[in-house]
């Protein structure tokens, strides 16, 4: 079979990589793809936008594609699944109505209330003045969120009232465009965060192994939020008993509530959770797609062929599917970013040494790269984003996995590279302070203004 993957990040490169692990998957097409998918001889990139639905449908039909997999949230939120289904093209992902669970935090809050899903108390505002008054009454710490899609950067965990006020002023001031037309203000929840990605066909739910990621740019989980600087799986925090509670208290009620609204949700239901000091799970937010970089550690541990699981969701036969099989061991991933991220950063910087990194035993997933084609054998790989590479390794334990990751990163020749040395510090025995300093921006340094 042939599969088409929509998107151009590390998540999509990982999905393509795992799909091609199966002998049944002959070829993967990527729209638009990145430098990593361009370098794979069994992948082919098409330079269309992820929201060019007509072009995506045309490629799927002319190339004999059996399945379309939608990676990012943006095309899901504007109805790519509805469009492709209307042309009888099998597609893995929720409809536009279902994608609201990520595209609108206030919509998701209402759905959780209907489903009885545990989450933080919140209030939604469409104007600055009432939001400011509310903050003055509640005080800090508190959480301020742009209601719409903001590429993972629209959340401020404000420890002071002044910080919270600046956050709402910035959102209503247009920092996130239309995503900030309304603001959700939530109570501050204490605990430890964990990501549980589940597959669903709209009826049955199958959770994947839990992961924990690091959102902040600085070591020690300091500085501004990013799309994610690294992750590991499975997260020991989630015991089998806790996973059973997450499935019965969070995942199943949410899928039932979606179905009760007449929403046909087939794809990934990603629950970002806070595990309270008492051990109870509460939803921080839902996403309607695979996480990035969580995908880079969850899928490499998957033994069951990925395309079989996706087809079971699309064809609504997940309940009859055999138990999901996993490899032994654990996985860790560290994101190599461009200097200045999540603010302004350079693009077009040459990258080399990836073969040497993989020779160490790591998998290098491209997140923000581009292959510059030229005559002869002079193709060049260059940076093309803020998060540039995700370096992943599997090990018997987390020290082994992250040891491989950091040795691989040292082998990568990329002058703008910056990364956190402490990813997975919760589960590693080796002190991260002993690792070589990569020249990261210190957490105490002022960060540049965020790029659009």
- Interhelix angle 105-115/96-103, rounded to 10 degrees, is 100
**Which parts of the chain have pLDDT scores under 50?**
439-452
**Predicted local confidence at residue 225, as pLDDT:** 82
For residue 68, give Cα distances in angstroms to 44, 91, 249, 343. 14, 5, 31, 33
- How many CA atoms are closer than 13 Å to the CA of 61, on its beta-carbon side? 12
Give the length of the chain.
Answer: 452
Kindly report the number of other CB atoms within 10 A of residue 173's CB atom.
11
Task: Look at residues 405, 354, 413, 376 and name the one whose alpha carbon lies nearest to residue 36.
Answer: 354
| DSSP secondary structure code for residue 355 in this structure | H
Beta bridge partners of 343: 450
- The pLDDT, as a whole number, for residue 433 is 67
Q: Find all residues with CB under 8 Å of 71, minimum gap 6, and list them.
A: 5, 6, 7, 9, 11, 12, 15, 50, 289, 290
pLDDT of residue 376: 66
423 closest CA partner among 400, 445, 406: 406
| Predicted local distance difference test score (pLDDT) of residue 297 | 98
How far is 193 from 26, CA to CA, in rounded Å?
A: 38
pTM over 0.85: yes
Whether 211 and 233 have beta carbons less than 8 Å apart is answered as yes
pLDDT of residue 451: 33
Return the residue matching tokens 């549980």. Answer: 196
CA distance 274 to 186: 13
DSSP 136: H
């Amino acid at each position: 079979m042939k599969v088409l993957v929509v998107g151009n990040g590390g998540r999509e490169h990982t999905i393509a990589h795992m799909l091609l692990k199966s002998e049944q998957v002959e070829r993967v097409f990527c729209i638009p793809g990145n430098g990593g998918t361009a370098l794979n001889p069994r992948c082919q990139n098409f330079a269309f936008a992820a929201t060019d639905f007509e072009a995506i449908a045309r490629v799927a039909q002319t190339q004999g594609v059996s399945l379309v997999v939608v990676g990012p949230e943006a095309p899901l939120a504007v109805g790519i699944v509805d469009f492709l289904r209307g042309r009888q093209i099998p597609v893995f992902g929720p409809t536009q109505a279902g994608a609201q669970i990520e595209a609108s935090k206030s919509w998701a809050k209402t759905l959780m209330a209907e489903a009885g899903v545990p989450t933080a108390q919140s209030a939604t505002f469409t104007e600055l003045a009432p939001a400011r008054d509310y903050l003055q009454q509640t005080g800090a710490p508190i959480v301020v969120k742009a209601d719409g899609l903001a590429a993972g950067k629209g959340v401020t965990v404000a420890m002071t009232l002044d910080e919270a006020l600046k956050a709402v002023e910035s959102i209503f001031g247009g920092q996130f465009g239309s995503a900030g037309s309304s603001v959700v203000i939530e109570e501050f929840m204490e605990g430890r965060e964990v990501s549980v990605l589940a597959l669903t066909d709209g009826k049955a739910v199958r959770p994947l192994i839990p992961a924990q990621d690091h959102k902040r740019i600085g070591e020690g989980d300091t500085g501004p939020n990013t799309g994610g600087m690294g992750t590991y799986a499975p997260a020991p925090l989630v015991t089998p008993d806790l996973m059973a509670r997450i499935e019965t208290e969070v995942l199943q009620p949410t899928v039932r509530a979606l179905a009760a609204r007449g929403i046909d949700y087939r794809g990934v239901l990603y629950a970002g959770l806070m595990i309270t000091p008492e051990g109870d799970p509460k939803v921080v937010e839902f996403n309607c797609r695979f996480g990035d970089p969580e995908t880079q550690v969850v899928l490499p541990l998957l033994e069951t062929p990925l395309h079989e699981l996706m087809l079971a969701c699309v064809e609504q036969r997940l309940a009859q599917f055999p138990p999901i099989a996993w490899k032994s061991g654990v996985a860790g991933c560290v994101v190599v970013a461009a200097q200045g991220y999540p603010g302004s950063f350079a693009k077009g910087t040459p990258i080399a040494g990836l073969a040497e990194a993989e020779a160490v035993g790591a998998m290098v997933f491209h997140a923000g790269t581009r292959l510059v084609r030229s005559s002869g054998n002079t193709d060049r790989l260059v940076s093309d984003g803020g998060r540039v590479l995700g370096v992943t390794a599997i090990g018997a334990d987390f020290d082994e996995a992250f040891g491989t990751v950091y040795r691989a990163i040292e082998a990568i020749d990329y002058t703008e590279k910056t990364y956190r040395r402490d990813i997975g510090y919760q589960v590693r025995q080796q002190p991260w302070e002993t690792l070589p300093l990569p020249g990261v921006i210190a957490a105490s340094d002022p960060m540049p203004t965020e790029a659009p």
